[in-house]
Amino acid sequence: MDTNRLSKKMAAALNAQMTKEAEASQIYLSYASWASNQGYGGTANFLFRHAQEERNHMMKILEYILKRGAEVKVTAIAAPPPNPASMYNCFEKVFSHEVDNTTSVYSLVKLSLEEEDWATWNFMQWFVKEQVEEETLAMELLDKLKISGGEKAGHNELYSLDRDLENAPDSAKSAQDVTADKP
Ligand code: OFO
């Protein structure tokens, strides 16, 4: 008896999104390493924590595919884009990345609607909400940098932003109970 509850198309789309979340984790790891090399330890800390969050997103999708009886395909992942040119550029890149990921999440929601796969539609709503939070976070950071002069932000402003980011809370991630630490 076939117990797979995902269509072929949906399983492929979910696997692609799982890979995209793994790539997002690598992107944050690379930007965090860049920030650390520039001396922005607080920003690096914030971005390293976010890399872990992206890995948790990957795990949620992996777990969902398994729970629906479909096959998980772990593949190679793309290398991150080039390093940012500045702190402002770093958060521009973070924001663009999140918007790109939102587009991908929306296409999964659309597919679930077309297929009347309400379980996947329901599952993806967590990601829709998460993307709103992540875009908002990136927007707020860009706004702070804009207020501080954008590309021309001085050492004092960058120092204080960096210090704030060291202690910036992670957005709560309790809607789904799977994490990379507790699969
Ligand atoms: Fe997984 O949310 Fe950002 O990319």
Task: Tell which atom from ligand 1 comes closest to the C-alpha of 58.
Answer: 1
| Domain ranges, ordered by start, for the chain | 8-171
Task: Compute the mean pLDDT over every residue in the chain, rounded to the nearest whole number.
Answer: 92
If you measure from the C-alpha of residue 99 to the centroid of ligand 1, how many angstroms do you get, rounded to a whole number?
9
d(CA 152, ligand 1 centre) in Å: 28
Q: Minimal CA–CA distance to 29: which of 56, 59, 54?
A: 54
Residues in the chain: 183
Ligand 1 mean position to 114 CA, how many Å? 24
**Least confident among 37-51, 75-89, 94-108, 139-153:** 139-153
Q: What is the pLDDT of residue 73?
A: 98
Say how many Å lie between the first and final Cα of the chain, rounded. Answer: 27
Note the CATH number of domain 8-171. Answer: 1.20.1260.10
Q: Which residue has the higher pLDDT, 159 or 113?
A: 113
pLDDT of residue 169: 60
Over the stretch 160-183, which tens digit does the pLDDT of each residue have?
888 988 887 655 343 354 476 776
Ligand 1 mean position, distance from CA 1 (Å):
36
At residue 178, the pLDDT reads 45
Taking the centre of ligand 1 as the mean of its atom positions, its distance from the CA of residue 98, in whole angstroms, is 6
Those residues whose C-beta lies under 8 Å from the C-beta of residue 161, and which sit 6 or more positions away, are 42, 43, 87, 141, 144, 145, 148, 153
Residue nearest to atom 1 of ligand 1 (CA): 54
- Three-class secondary structure assignment of the chain: CCCCCCCHHHHHHHHHHHHHHHHHHHHHHHHHHHHHHHCCHHHHHHHHHHHHHHHHHHHHHHHHHHHCCCCCCCCCCCCCCCCCCCHHHHHHHHHHHHHHHHHHHHHHHHHHHHHCCHHHHHHHHHHHHHHHHHHHHHHHHHHHHHHCCHHHCCHHHHHHHHHHHHHCCCCCCCCCCCCCCCC
Q: Which residue has the higher pLDDT, 61 or 178?
A: 61
Asked if residue 98 has pLDDT above 90, the reply is yes
- What are the pocket residues of ligand 1 if the criterion is a CB atom closer than 6 Å to any ligand atom? 21, 24, 54, 57, 98, 101, 130, 134
Q: What percent of the chain has pLDDT over 70?
A: 93
The pLDDT tens digits for 115-140 are 999 999 999 999 999 999 999 888 88
